[in-house]
């Protein structure tokens, strides 16, 4: 399926296209039509599956239809409640991105900072409010937040809210919203308390479940090299020549870094090209074609640029830099070893990235093989024993749940659309 197949307004299609998304992720494919229909939804999915866009995009589509270019005072029509400031900021940014060609406005509020700027924006009126529970209730009590006109409520990361003791706050928040709202609840796991919450506040919800993003990692052979930061380029060259690697996708955190890797490899006569946001669409396409045709053996990409690349099942993916968001690691290595094909994901971890590696290990819960026998190890300290310790518990119980949609589709209530 393509994004174009989802009947979304042109302004949203344009923003999504600019992000480099071509295909909806499984949760998006399933959830977007449900949200567009106005039905309540329980989504069992974790961060990294594309769930933010799964609710943000259809909400923007519907609000854009309703609010259009109206000059009337803005009212809060969508509320997204999420447990942490970081998640709130990310969600707010997602809304800004996908709504940038509409005139919808968004505000993100969270505690631990002065409320003044938040209150000023609320006074001007916003269409979408993203909030952590404490600050939301606080500002509501002070009379700055009116949820009477709400169309859609999203409870994001519901199991985390439970863990963090926010469940009573969530219940209070739901009671402040109109009864005819649409409610979307997302949770990585579905403990009884979350099911009860869903029963209490959702009406005849559809259910969508997608595989945890971490399960992708189980299909790929992964290796890690603990390497001195300044020696990464040498190690890359060493691996490419020693093992005669070709058709390699290398991830760099920055555009500048990607260009430098290309320069270093070319100096050693390896055909490499970079693909990143500073290059024109035409230039990117040329590079990509050359890589697909195997004229270029090594492609260096940033995460953003790689999203738009319609290639997978590559034999090798190399994380030249480790991503600071663990889910990004899973997305990257998902480029290899798909559909039962063997693939190898290699990661370079310098000392300053050790924390990132630990976070990745925590997420994937896979015992990644450390390759200690190489010419550029850390000069001092041995990360190996601790960093590669396997984690034996698996949040998903090691089971892979296939994407499935509830067949509970008898009612398709349209309420506010």
Interface residues with ligand AMP (CB under 6 A) are 21, 24-25, 28, 47-53, 307, 327
CB nearer ligand AMP, residue 18 or residue 196: 18
Q: How far is the CB of 24 from ligand AMP (least distance, A)?
A: 5
Q: How far is the CB of 227 from ligand AMP (least distance, A)?
A: 26
What is each CA distance from 294 to 277, 279, 393, in whole angstroms? 22, 20, 41
Strand partners, 184: 41, 154
Contacts of 191 (CB under 8 A, 6+ apart): 159, 162
CB nearer ligand AMP, residue 86 or residue 199: 86
CB nearer ligand AMP, residue 28 or residue 108: 28
Q: How far is the CB of 327 from ligand AMP (least distance, A)?
A: 6
CB nearer ligand AMP, residue 308 or residue 377: 308
Q: How far is the CB of 90 from ligand AMP (least distance, A)?
A: 7
Q: What does the alpha-carbon distance between residue 92 and residue 109 come to, in Å, rounded to a whole number?
A: 9
Q: Which of 344, 276, 348 is nearest to 319 (CA)?
A: 348
Q: Which of 289, 288, 294, 293 is nearest to 274 (CA)?
A: 288
Residue 372: CB atoms within 10 Å: 12
Contacts of 333 (CB under 8 A, 6+ apart): 216, 217, 220, 222, 317, 319, 343, 345
CB nearer ligand AMP, residue 50 or residue 92: 50
Q: How far is the CB of 307 from ligand AMP (least distance, A)?
A: 4
**Residue with smallest beta-carbon separation from ligand AMP:** 52
Residue 341: CB atoms within 10 Å: 13
Q: What does the alpha-carbon distance between residue 170 and residue 71 come to, in Å, rounded to a whole number?
A: 32
Q: How far is the CB of 48 from ligand AMP (least distance, A)?
A: 5
Cβ atoms of 64 and 248 within 8 Å: the answer is no
CB nearer ligand AMP, residue 17 or residue 266: 17
Q: What does the alpha-carbon distance between residue 71 and residue 89 come to, in Å, rounded to a whole number?
A: 27
Q: What does the alpha-carbon distance between residue 186 and residue 41 come to, in Å, rounded to a whole number?
A: 8
Q: How far is the CB of 353 from ligand AMP (least distance, A)?
A: 19
How many residues make up the chain in this entry?
417
CB nearer ligand AMP, residue 51 or residue 64: 51
Q: How far is the CB of 178 from ligand AMP (least distance, A)?
A: 27
CB nearer ligand AMP, residue 323 or residue 377: 323
Q: What does the alpha-carbon distance between residue 336 and residue 340 come to, in Å, rounded to a whole number?
A: 10
Contacts of 373 (CB under 8 A, 6+ apart): none
Q: How far is the CB of 58 from ligand AMP (least distance, A)?
A: 13
CB nearer ligand AMP, residue 77 or residue 335: 335
Distance of CA 398 to the CA centre of its chain: 21
Question: How many CA atoms lie within 13 Å of 298's alpha carbon, on the beta-carbon side?
Answer: 28
């Amino acid at each position: 399926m393509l994004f174009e197949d989802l009947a979304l307004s042109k302004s949203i299609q344009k923003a999504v296209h600019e992000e480099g998304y071509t295909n909806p992720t499984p949760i998006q494919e399933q959830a977007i039509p449900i949200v567009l229909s106005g039905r309540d939804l329980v989504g069992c999915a974790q961060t990294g599956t594309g769930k933010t866009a799964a609710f943000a995009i259809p909400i923007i589509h519907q609000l854009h239809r309703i609010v259009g270019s109206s000059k009337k005072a803005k009212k809060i029509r969508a509320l997204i409640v999420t447990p942490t400031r970081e998640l709130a900021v990310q969600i707010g940014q997602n809304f800004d991105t996908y709504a940038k060609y509409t005139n919808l406005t968004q505000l993100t509020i969270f505690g631990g900072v002065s409320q003044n700027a938040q209150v000023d924006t609320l006074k001007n009126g916003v269409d979408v409010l993203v909030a952590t529970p404490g600050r939301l209730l606080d500002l509501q009590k002070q009379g700055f937040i009116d949820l009477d006109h709400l169309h859609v409520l999203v409870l994001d990361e519901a199991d985390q809210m439970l863990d963090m003791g926010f469940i009573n706050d969530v219940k209070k928040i739901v009671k402040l919203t109109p009864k005819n709202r649409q409610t979307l609840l997302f949770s990585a796991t579905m403990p009884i308390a979350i099911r009860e919450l869903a029963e209490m506040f959702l009406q005849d919800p559809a259910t969508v479940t997608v595989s945890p993003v971490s399960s992708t990692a189980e299909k790929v052979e992964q290796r890690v090299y603990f390497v001195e930061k300044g020696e990464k380029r040498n190690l890359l060259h060493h691996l490419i020549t020693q093992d005669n690697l070709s058709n390699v996708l290398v991830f760099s955190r920055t555009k500048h870094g990607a260009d430098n890797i290309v320069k270093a490899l070319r100096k050693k006569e390896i055909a490499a090209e970079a693909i990143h946001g500073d290059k024109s669409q035409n230039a990117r396409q040329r590079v990509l074609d050359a890589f697909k045709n195997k004229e270029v053996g090594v492609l260096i990409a940033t995460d953003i640029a790689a999203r738009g690349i319609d290639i997978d099942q590559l034999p090798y993916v190399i994380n030249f830099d480790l991503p600071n968001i663990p889910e990004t690691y899973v997305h990257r290595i998902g480029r290899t070893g798909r559909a039962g094909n063997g693939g190898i994901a290699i990661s370079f971890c310098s000392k300053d990235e050790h924390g990132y590696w630990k976070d990745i290990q925590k997420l994937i819960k896979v015992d990644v093989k450390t390759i200690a026998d190489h010419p550029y190890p850390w000069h001092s300290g041995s990360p190996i024993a601790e960093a590669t310790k396997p984690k034996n518990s698996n949040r998903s119980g090691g089971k892979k749940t296939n994407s499935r949609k509830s067949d509970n589709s008898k009612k398709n209530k349209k309420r506010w659309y």
